[in-house]
Amino acid sequence: MPLHAAALIEPAPRAEAPPAIADVLPAQAITVLTELFGTDPGQWRVLIDLFCDTVAQDLASLEAAIARRAVADIATAAHRIVGSARMFGHAPIGDAACAVERLAHGDDSGNCSGHARPADLQSAAVSLRMRIDAFRRQAQRCGWPDAVGSG
């Protein structure tokens, strides 16, 4: 019986990510970048810069909402960061943003009180900011080719 033509197609070998970049960034982010763009550092840099800029804007919105004690706005801004981080493959940022979102929605038992303690929200936001800033520094330390991105 002849083989079906589709049975002969094999996936292309996966190219290796540039070590000067892959050794610096989180493994899951490398997986996402490789799945989206192969090993094109120019495309990686564009997405990394977009991610960093987007979460920085959302973090500014989150911090402003915390200052206003606007619980719904806190939850919305945190949720945007959760989504961006999870789609990008950065679990620590996503988890930290999720912690802020949970605080905004209620206590650890899931009770929706709408009265999150400002000190707890502030502490969680600082933890989130530290993770975002650390990732931006990681991205800046990558061995990007000279013609790629500005950081």
Q: What integer best gives the mean pLDDT of the chain?
A: 85
Binning pLDDT at 50, 70 and 90, where does residue 22 land?
confident
**Spacing of C-alpha 29 from chain mean position:** 8
- What pLDDT does 3 receive? 55
Stretch among 24-38, 73-87, 89-103, 105-119 having the lowest mean pLDDT: 105-119
Q: What's the CATH code of the domain at 115?
A: 1.20.120
How many domains does one find in the chain? Answer: 1
> Does 63 score more than 90 pLDDT?
yes
> Is the residue at 124 inside a domain?
yes
Range of the domain at 71: 41-141
Mean pLDDT of 100-126: 77
The structure's pTM equals 0.80
Helix axes 41-68, 118-141, angle to 10 degrees: 160
Residue 24 counted as domain residue: no
The string of DSSP letters for 103-138 reads HHH--TT----S---HHHHHHHHHHHHHHHHHHHHH
CA distance 129 to 45: 21
Task: Decide if 75 is inside a domain.
Answer: yes
| Token pair recorded at residue 94 | 């996503």
The answer as to whether 72 is a domain residue is yes
* Arithmetic mean of pLDDT, 30-43: 91
